[in-house]
């Protein structure tokens, strides 16, 4: 290894370790379900994005296996050579139906999708108004486009309006886009899409909503845009296929001309191998399940409300989440990490989230209940929270 690289790595890894910011990764020794096995222990899992339990759904597992038997394990090429299987076409039709749009395009991940879609449309002569708490993949997608990035204060519509006015009236930019998460994953709050659409109409902004944490969860499962009835108003409906939908991948749903453009200009679609057939078959069936029934969605919300009520009654600060995401805000970073470690020792897997992912002094243990949790599991988790909370002086 080059000395320069070795010095760089040693210095920076040591610095992270000294500041307690080096994240050790625990491999999960089995399915990422309502319970998980980690380091030889079985724990109640409150850290997965498997909101509806579909990642471990037996019917979907069988559908994936059947598709592997028929098509093999890989798509074999990028989409524009001969990696577009009939399965991909069916998936994209299903995603358009799911999102109430003319068309859709799929990508290999949600992260990839933001890198692909923003830079296919925006360039150095454009500007992007971006919510300050937007996901890392949106930030990176914006950077890749080389457009001027204008952050606005989180869900602050006055700030957005002022910056939209300034950007459009300056005459400096050819196009101006506004980008927001649909559901913000650290606090569980929902973007103010009706106000965003109003501002977008006033200033002719392109609208872009990444609903990674909303699809399957809000809008009776159909997402945050549907929740507000704005399917006709949002230009880009982005999502991931890896959270509530349970598999892997990302997508854009929108007008046919937008999707046609992304098929010829978005680089991961052109230059990276297509999603594998087993995954595509399972995703299509998962989306169909969400379209057909709200049973899992209803169970998810029931469990979210139950966990929130239990933790709140004990005196924990659970923030102002509007979704099943349940942060338990501890504050101090070190105490938050100790809290999560003690939960682990008592049988609950709930990760601590601290600066720089969230602002300093707002360290939290983030809980993600799913449709697969039973009331008994949630009662046990709440009892463990009570024990650890009292022991560490977080509650009385
Ligand atoms: N966008 C948002 C808002 C997300 O929360 C995430 C996942 N953390 C992603 C994109 C990335 O999705 P994926 O995991 O499918 O790459």
Per-residue pLDDT tens digits for 86-125 = 999 999 999 999 999 999 999 999 999 999 999 999 999 9
Please report the pLDDT score of residue 281 as a whole number. 98
Q: Name the residue at shortest CA distance from atom 13 of ligand 1.
A: 110
Residue labelled with tokens 């909101």: 51
131 close to ligand 1 (CB < 6 Angstrom): no
Confidence of residue 325 (pLDDT cuts 50, 70, 90): very high
Q: How many C-beta neighbours within 10 Å does residue 55 have?
A: 25
Residue 33 has pLDDT above 90, yes or no: yes
Cβ of residue 57 lying under 6 Å from some atom of ligand 1: no
Q: Would you say residue 8 has pLDDT above 80?
A: yes
The residue-averaged pLDDT of 316-335 equals 96
What pLDDT is recorded for position 348? Answer: 98
Q: Is 213 in the pocket of ligand 1 (CB under 6 A)?
A: yes
With tokens 């559901």, the residue in question is 183
H or E segment and range at residue 367: strand 363-367
Coil vs helix vs strand at 201: helix
Mean pLDDT of 156-172: 98
Nearest by Cα to 300 from 373, 367, 363: 373
Please write the tens of the pLDDT for every residue from 234-265.
Answer: 999 999 999 999 999 999 999 999 999 999 99
pLDDT given for residue 21 in this prediction: 75
Q: Is 306 in the pocket of ligand 1 (CB under 6 A)?
A: no
Banded model confidence at residue 356, pLDDT cuts 50, 70, 90:
confident
How far away, in angstroms, is 242 Cα from ligand 1 center? 8
Give the pLDDT of residue 43: 98
CA of 251 relative to ligand 1 center, distance in Å? 11
**Residue 396 to residues 56, 316, 342, 390, 393, Cα–Cα distance (Å):** 38, 10, 17, 6, 7
Encoded tokens for 254: 């929108």
Ligand 1 centroid vs 134 CA: distance in angstroms? 10
Give the ligand 1 atom nearest the CA of 213. Answer: 5
Q: Which helix (H) or strand (E) holds 346?
A: helix 333-346
Question: Residue 379's pLDDT is what?
Answer: 98
Question: Quick one: average pLDDT of 155-172?
Answer: 98
pLDDT, position 321: 96
Placement of tokens 């002086």 in the chain:
393
Average pLDDT over residues 201-205: 98
- Write down the pLDDT at residue 19: 80
Q: Which atom of ligand 1 is nearest to the CA of 111?
A: 16
Of all protein residues, the one whose alpha carbon is nearest to atom 12 of ligand 1 is 110
The share of the chain scoring above pLDDT 90, in percent, equals: 95
Our answer to whether residue 137 is catalytic in this structure is: no
Give the per-residue pLDDT at 314: 97
Residue 24, pLDDT score: 83
Q: Which of 99, 163, 213, 227 is catalytic?
A: 213
Atom of ligand 1 nearest to the CA of 134: 3
How much distance in Å is there from the Cα of 118 to the middle of ligand 1?
15
Domains of the chain with CATH codes = 21-50+294-391 (3.90.1150.10), 58-292 (3.40.640.10)
Q: Residues 35, 377: contact at Cβ < 8 Å?
A: yes
Q: Is 185 one of the catalytic residues?
A: yes
User: Counting atoms of ligand 1 from 1, which one is nearest the CA of 249?
Assistant: 15
**Which pLDDT band, with edges at 50, 70 and 90, does 380 fall under?**
very high
Q: Is the CB of 106 under 6 A from ligand 1?
A: no
| Beta-carbon contacts of residue 127 (< 8 Å; ≥ 6 apart) | 147, 148, 149, 150, 167, 172, 173, 175, 176, 177
Q: Which atom of ligand 1 is nearest to the CA of 185?
A: 5
Q: Which pLDDT belongs to residue 125?
A: 98
pLDDT of residue 20: 72
Question: In the predicted model, what is the mean pLDDT of residues 385-394?
Answer: 98
| Average pLDDT along the chain | 97
Residue 173 has pLDDT above 80, yes or no: yes
Calpha distance 346→94 (Å, rounded): 43
Task: Out of 185, 215, 242, 352, pick the active-site residue.
Answer: 185
* ipTM over 0.90 threshold: yes
Task: Kindly give the distance from the C-alpha atom of residue 2 to the centroid of ligand 1, in angstroms, as a whole number.
Answer: 34
- Structure pTM? 0.96
Is pLDDT at 355 greater than 90 in this prediction? no
pLDDT in tens, 44-65: 999 999 999 999 999 999 999 9
pLDDT band at 216 (very low <50, low <70, confident <90, very high): very high
Least Cα distance to 343 among 382, 312, 374 occurs for 382
Above 90 in pLDDT, residue 7?
Answer: yes
CB-based contacts of 321, cutoff 8 Å, min separation 6: 187, 188, 189, 308, 327
2 is catalytic: no
Distance separating alpha carbons of residues 151 and 73, to the nearest angstrom? 42
Q: Which of 226, 227, 243, 308 is catalytic?
A: 243
Three-state SS for 106? strand
């Amino acid at each position: 290894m080059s000395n320069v690289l070795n010095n760089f790595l040693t210095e920076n890894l040591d610095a992270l370790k000294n500041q307690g910011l080096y994240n050790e990764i625990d491999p999960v020794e089995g399915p990422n379900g309502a319970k998980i096995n980690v380091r030889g222990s079985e724990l109640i899992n409150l850290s997965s994005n498997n909101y509806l339990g579909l990642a471990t759904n037996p019917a979907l597992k069988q559908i994936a296996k059947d598709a592997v038997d028929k098509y093999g394990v890989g798509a074999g090429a990028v989409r524009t050579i001969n990696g577009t299987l009939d399965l991909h076409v069916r998936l994209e039709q299903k995603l358009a139906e799911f999102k109430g749009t003319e068309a859709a395009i799929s990508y290999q991940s949600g992260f990839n999708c933001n890198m692909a879609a923003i830079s296919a449309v925006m360039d150095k002569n454009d500007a992007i108004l971006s919510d300050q708490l937007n996901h890392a993949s949106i930030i990176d997608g914006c950077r890749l486009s080389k457009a001027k990035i204008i952050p606005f204060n989180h869900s602050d519509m006055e700030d957005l309006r002022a910056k939209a006015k300034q950007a459009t009236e300056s005459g400096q930019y050819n196009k101006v886009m506004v980008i927001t998460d649909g559901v913000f994953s650290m606090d569980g709050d929902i973007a103010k899409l009706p106000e965003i659409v109003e501002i977008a109409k006033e200033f002719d902004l392109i609208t872009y909503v990444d609903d990674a944490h909303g699809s399957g969860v809000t809008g009776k499962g159909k997402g945050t845009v549907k929740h507000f009835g704005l399917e006709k108003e949002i230009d880009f409906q982005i999502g991931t296929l890896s959270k509530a939908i349970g598999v892997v991948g990302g997508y854009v749903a929108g007008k046919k001309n937008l999707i046609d453009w992304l098929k010829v200009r978005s680089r991961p679609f052109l230059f990276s191998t297509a999603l594998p057939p087993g995954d595509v078959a399972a995703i299509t069936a998962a989306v169909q399940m969400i379209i057909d029934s709200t049973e899992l969605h209803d169970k998810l919300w029931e469990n979210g409300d139950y966990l929130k009520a239990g933790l709140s009654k004990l005196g924990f600060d659970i923030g102002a989440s509007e979704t099943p995401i349940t942060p338990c805000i501890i504050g101090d970073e070190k105490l938050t990490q100790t809290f999560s470690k003690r939960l682990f020792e008592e049988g609950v897997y709930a990760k601590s989230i601290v600066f720089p992912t969230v602002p300093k002094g707002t360290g939290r243990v983030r809980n993600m209940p799913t449709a697969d949790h039973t009331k008994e599991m949630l009662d046990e988790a709440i009892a463990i929270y009570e024990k650890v909370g009292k022991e560490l002086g977080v509650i009385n």
